[in-house]
Amino acid sequence: MSAGRVQTPVLGWIISRYEEYKSKKRKYYLIEIENTSLDKLYIPKEMLSEKEEVVKIRKMDSVVKEIEPQPPYTTDLFLKDSSQLLNLSVEESMRIAQDLFELGLITYHRTDSTRISDQGVEIARQYYKMIFENFEEFFTPRTWGMGGAHEAIRPTRPIDAETLLDLIRSNELQVYGRFDQKHLKVYELIFNRFMASQGNKAKVEFERIRVDFRNFSKEVEVPVKIISEGFLKFYNPFKRIYSEVKEGEYKLKKVKEILKSL
Q: Give the pLDDT of residue 150.
A: 86
Q: Give the pLDDT of residue 149.
A: 75
Q: Give the pLDDT of residue 95.
A: 96
Q: Give the pLDDT of residue 164.
A: 96
The rounded distance, in Å, linking the Cα atoms of 221 and 209 is 6
Write the single-letter amino acid at 26.
R
Global pTM value: 0.79
Crossing angle between the packed helical segments 181-197 and 161-169, to the nearest 10 degrees = 140
Ordered DSSP codes for 146-207: -S-S---B-BSSS--HHHHHHHHHTTSS---S---HHHHHHHHHHHHHHHHHTB--EEEEEE
Q: Give the pLDDT of residue 260.
A: 67
The rounded distance, in Å, linking the Cα atoms of 93 and 116 is 22
Q: Which of 69, 17, 62, 106 is nearest to 230 (CA)?
A: 69
DSSP character at residue 45? G
Which long-range contacts (C-beta less than 8 Å, at least 24 apart) are formed by 46-52? 47/213, 47/214, 47/216, 48/252, 48/254, 52/251, 52/252
Q: Give the pLDDT of residue 19.
A: 66
Q: Give the pLDDT of residue 20.
A: 64
Q: Give the pLDDT of residue 18.
A: 64
Q: Give the pLDDT of residue 24.
A: 60
- Count of alpha carbons within 13 angstroms of residue 157, beta-carbon side: 13
Ordered DSSP codes for 58-125: EEEEEEEEEEPPPPPBPHHHHHHHHHHHH---HHHHHHHHHHHHHTTSB--S--------HHHHHHHH
Q: Give the pLDDT of residue 5.
A: 58
The rounded distance, in Å, linking the Cα atoms of 220 and 60 is 10
Query: Where do the domains of the chain lie, and which CATH numbers do they carry?
Result: 26-67+202-260 (2.60.510.20), 75-197 (1.10.290.10)
- pLDDT, one tens digit per residue, over 207-235 is 999 989 888 888 888 899 999 999 999 99
Mean pLDDT by 10 residues, the chain (262 residues): 61 70 67 77 74 85 95 96 95 96 95 95 97 93 84 97 95 87 97 97 94 86 92 91 84 75 58
Q: Give the pLDDT of residue 72.
A: 97
Instruction: List residues with catalytic annotation.
Output: 108
